[in-house]
């Protein structure tokens, strides 16, 4: 299987078409690389928060407080994207898709972070587990 970062350069009789193809391939590769990094970051943050929640005696309250404090810290340090709601989604992402980063195959990157966010909105857990999981 070719890596998604492979760029094919075909010399045709049309330099304009060839240049356009190179630019579009590299642009798509950049989008994919960012998506992969976001999926990994969000899953790892969710895992780390979930691990921290297990240390609390009253897990629900402790977890909520940890997420609030972490959201304030990360938002002050990095800006948007780390508010309470986002961090909560990351924890749900980790819990709903615990095998994502354990996969040896890059096929799990077929979905974008936006797709995973949409799947997290599905309230019927059976539908999520049976119909939307990526099978490798």
CB 96 within 8 A of CB 122: no
Count of residues making up the chain: 136
SS3 (DSSP) at 41: helix
Residue 44: count of CB within 10 angstroms of its CB? 13
pLDDT of residue 97: 87
Buried/exposed 84-117: b ≥16 CB within 10 Å, e otherwise: eebbbbbbbbbebbeebeeeeeeebbebbbeebe
Q: CA–CA separation, 92 vs 120, rounded Å?
A: 7
State whether the Cα torsion 91-95-96-101 is positive or negative: positive
Question: pLDDT digits over 72-91, tens only?
Answer: 999 999 999 899 999 999 99
pLDDT of residue 17: 94
Question: pLDDT digits over 14-63, tens only?
Answer: 999 999 999 999 999 999 889 889 999 999 999 999 999 877 666 778 88
Split at pLDDT 50, 70, 90, the class of 103 is low
Locate the DSSP E strands across the chain: none
């Amino acid at each position: 299987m070719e890596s998604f970062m492979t760029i094919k350069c075909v010399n045709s009789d049309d330099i304009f078409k060839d240049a356009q193809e190179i630019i579009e391939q590299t642009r798509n590769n950049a989008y994919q690389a960012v998506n992969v990094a976001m999926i990994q970051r969000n899953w790892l943050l969710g895992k780390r928060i979930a691990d921290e929640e297990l240390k609390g005696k009253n897990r629900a309250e402790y977890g909520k407080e940890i997420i609030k404090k972490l959201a304030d810290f990360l938002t002050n340090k990095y800006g948007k994207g780390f508010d309470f709601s986002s961090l909560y989604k990351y924890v749900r992402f980790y819990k709903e898709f615990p095998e994502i980063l354990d996969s040896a195959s890059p096929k799990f990157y077929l979905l974008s972070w936006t797709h995973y966010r949409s799947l997290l909105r599905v309230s019927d857990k059976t539908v999520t587990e049976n119909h939307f999981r990526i099978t490798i």
